[in-house]
Amino acid sequence: SQTIHQWPATLVQPVGSPLSLECTVEGTSNPNLYWYRQAAGRGLQLLFYSVGIGQISSEVPQNLSASRPQDRQFILSSKKLLLSDSGFYLCAWSNTEAFFGQGTRLTVV
């Protein structure tokens, strides 16, 4: 069966520090991969999606970037975090429906 792993579960980082969140998928090949952000009390915003290795599409201009170095690995990064980057980040993969990781609670202080 397919599983999705996302880590870390929680993260507190100072403003200006770098960020790396990792997501891996097992049990499927060539999945579509996504990074969503959920700000407090708000819905989910699609940040990036990828339909293949090295293929990244950005949905909104922002301080973050994404990479897909392997078929089942999706990384969300930042060189310098801002306070506004705080939120709940969710990785997902899909074929006919989307499956989500457990999320990372990022607090930028």
* Binding residues vs another protein (CB under 8 A): 6, 32, 34, 36, 42-44, 46, 49, 51, 57, 59, 90, 92, 94-103, 105
Residue 107 has φ and ψ, to the nearest 5°, of -120, 120
Closest distance between another protein and the C-beta of residue 16, in Å? 27
For another protein, the closer CB: 63 or 102: 102
Residues contacting 23, CB < 8 A, separation 6+: 4, 5, 6, 33, 35, 73, 74, 75, 76, 91, 101
For another protein, the closer CB: 34 or 74: 34
For another protein, the closer CB: 17 or 102: 102
Cα separation, 67 vs 77, in Å, equals 8
Residue 51 has φ and ψ, to the nearest 5°, of -100, 0
Closest distance between another protein and the C-beta of residue 7, in Å? 12
